[in-house]
Each structure stands twice: as C-alpha cells, then as structure tokens.
C-alpha cells in the first residue's frame, strides 16, 4: 500500500482527526504488533494499558477514551480499522488469474463463458453453469449440473457435488465440501445399509464458509444455508438442515440432521447440536454447549445439556462449592457416629 496521511485516512473513514500531528501511515497492525508507521485501533477501556506501550504511529479510537497518540475518533473503531484493512488485500486478479487455465478440464456442455477465472486443474462437470465474474482457484471440482452464481470466490480444492446450487457473491475457502452424502444408514442383520441421499444443497447469496467445512446434501429435498450466513472453519452441517439468514457459526461445530436454525443466530465454537432441534431467531449458543432440545427465540444458553446461561452459571457456582459441602457432611456423619457409639 502507498503511504497515506492520517488526515486522508480520517476522510476515508468519516472520522474526526485528533491533534495537529498528521503522520504518514504505511501499514496496519494490532496494538501489540504495531511498529512505527502502523495504524492500530482501540475499541474499549480494557485496551488502554496496551495503548500506552504500543509502537504504532496512530490509532483509531472511540470517543471519550484518552489517548496521547495522533488519533482518528470513530464511534466504531473496529469497523473503521476493517475498512482500512481492505487496502491491504491482494488484488483478486493476483489470487485468481483471469481466463481458463490450459490444464482445466471443462465438459463441453458446461457454461463458463461468463466466469472471470477457471484455475489450474479445475474439473467442471456436465451442464454446470458458472456465473458472471466468478473465480475458481486451482483444483476446484464441480460435479454435473452444479450452478455457481455471480461474483463468487471458490478457493483451492473446493468440491461441489452434483446438482447443488451456489448463490451470488459466495466465498468458499480452501477444501470446503458442498453436497457430500448425508449420514444415513439403516441397521440390519447384515450390517448397515446405506440410505440413498438424493437431495441437494442450496447456498444462498453472500454466504462465506471457512476451510474444511462440509455441508451435507439432503436425503430428499434441500439442505439450505441462508443469505448472509457465515460459517467458520471445520463446521459440519448435516443433511436436511435449514440455517437461517445472517447466522454466525464458529469453528468445530456439528449440526445434526434436520435441525432448523432461525435468522440471526450466533453459535460459539465446539457446539454440538443434536438432530431435529429447532433454534429460534436471534438465539445465542455459548461455546462448548450441547444442544438436545429446542431453544426459544432470543434465548442465551450454555452448558451440557444447554440451559439458560444465568441458570448455568448458578449451577457451576454451586458445583465449585460441592467438595467443601461433601467434607462438611462427612464430618457431621463422623460426629453423629461417635455420638451413637
């Protein structure tokens, strides 16, 4: 990035420049990692101690917080920092060189004419459609009859199986698998008989899915990930799951088959959701929780099994007192035994 004056950045972000100094900014970093020339940010009082010792040349800071560095005042410093970071992203043409690479295998019935980039060793199956402006990195595999919308980014080794549909502006990171078979087996005398998985997956517009995540195809019908939803790395979404719009699901979560997740739901890391559970709109599931029953809209739950977060904290507080309680009970029993003798 070419250097910018702090005043130029303030204008870009719509913030208020504090002080008369107007340093040259050449980079961006967190408080602990920043050096001379870097712009950093502080969003709350908890980070003011780190701000005092940072080597950054300037800071984006919330109104009302004290600061000795040249600063830009913004109501949401993190949002402003994120906007500034966009200037450091590698150009898409660098990551996804335009054109169809000579090593790509494209079925004659597939339509990639409007795609911007089909990378090395991609395999595009029969009757696939790749929309205008979409970009595929190396080793992406599209099974037959797959549809990819406009302006999507599919990174290396993404695999999308037959008949699945991807909306517009979808980002699939490295090694994402869409449309793998749902986990369906019938036990019998001769072992486990596989149940055919003949449904599809629909990924709606503006979804982003992290590396190594899998979304299973439906047994029949559709598995759906709703508009604007973001999945972290290593998330497993089971067959026939319906994930609503604008949800956030953190790493290492497993969502059991036929679960319904409402709009605006937040799920922390390492959460396990049993099958056929319904989670209401706006619910929040704390990390490492185990979900075995429905969660009402707007609830915040935690624990295994997950219960209301306030109740769970009371239980954990009581649990910490249990060893002392056991010691006291044993002492009372010993005293009573001595009296009986």
- Of 173, 168, 178, 242, the residue nearest 205 (C-alpha): 168
Whether 337 has a pLDDT exceeding 80, the answer reads no
Q: Quick check: pTM over 0.85?
A: yes
Selecting among 35, 139, 239, 246, the annotated active-site residue is 239
Task: Specify whether domain 97-311 bears CATH 1.20.1250.20.
Answer: no
Question: How confident is the model at residue 1, as a pLDDT?
Answer: 65
Q: Is 192 left (phi over 0), alpha (psi -120 to 50) or beta?
A: beta
| 139 carries an active-site annotation | no
Domain 4-88 -> CATH class: alpha beta
User: Residues 34-67: pLDDT tens digits?
Assistant: 999 999 999 889 999 999 999 999 999 999 998 9
Structure tokens, 59: 């800071």
Rounded Cα–Cα distance for residues 242 and 47 (Å): 39
DSSP state letters, 100-124: E-TT-EE-TT-B-TT-SEE-TT-EE
Length of the chain: 341
Q: What is the pLDDT of residues 169-224, one digit of tens each?
A: 999 999 999 999 999 999 989 999 999 999 999 999 999 999 999 999 999 999 99
pLDDT in tens, 118-132: 999 999 999 999 999
Question: Tokens representing 12?
Answer: 């870009």
For all residues of the chain together, what is the average pLDDT? 95
Half-sphere exposure of 166 (CA within 13 A, CB side): 37
Q: Which of 301, 308, 305 is nearest to 266 (CA)?
A: 301
């Amino acid at each position: 990035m070419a250097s910018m004056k702090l005043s130029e950045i303030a204008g870009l972000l719509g913030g208020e420049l504090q002080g008369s100094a107007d340093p040259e900014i050449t980079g961006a970093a967190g408080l602990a990692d920043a050096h001379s020339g870097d712009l950093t940010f502080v969003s709350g009082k908890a980070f003011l101690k780190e701000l005092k010792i940072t080597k950054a040349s300037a800071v984006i800071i919330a109104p009302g917080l004290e600061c000795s560095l040249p600063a830009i005042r913004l109501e949401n410093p993190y949002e402003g920092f994120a906007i500034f970071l966009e200037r450091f992203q590698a150009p898409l043409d660098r990551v996804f060189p335009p054109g169809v690479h000579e090593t790509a295998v494209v079925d004659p019935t597939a339509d990639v004419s409007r795609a911007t980039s089909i990378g090395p060793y991609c395999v595009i199956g029969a009757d696939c459609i790749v929309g205008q402006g979409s970009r595929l990195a190396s080793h992406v595999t599209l099974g037959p009859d797959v549809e990819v919308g406009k302006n999507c980014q599919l990174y290396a080794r993404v695999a999308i199986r037959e008949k699945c549909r991807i909306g517009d502006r979808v980002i699939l990171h490295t090694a994402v698998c869409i449309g793998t078979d749902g986990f369906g087996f019938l036990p019998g005398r001769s072992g486990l008989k596989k149940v055919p998985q003949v449904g599809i997956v629909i990924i709606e517009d503006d979804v982003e899915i992290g590396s190594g995540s899998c979304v299973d195809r439906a047994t029949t019908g559709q598995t759906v990930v709703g508009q604007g939803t973001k999945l972290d790395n290593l998330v497993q979404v089971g067959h026939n799951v319906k994930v609503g719009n604008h949800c956030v699901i953190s790493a290492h979560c497993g969502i059991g088959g036929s679960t319904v997740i409402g709009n605006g739901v937040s799920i922390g890391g390492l959460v396990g959701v049993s099958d056929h559970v319904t989670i209401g709109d706006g619910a929040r599931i704390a990390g490492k929780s185990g979900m075995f029953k429905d969660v009402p809209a707007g609830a915040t739950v935690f624990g295994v099994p997950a219960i209301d977060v306030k109740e769970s904290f009371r239980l954990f507080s009581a649990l910490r007192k249990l060893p002392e309680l056991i010691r006291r009970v044993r002492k009372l029993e010993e005293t009573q035994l001595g009296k009986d003798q």
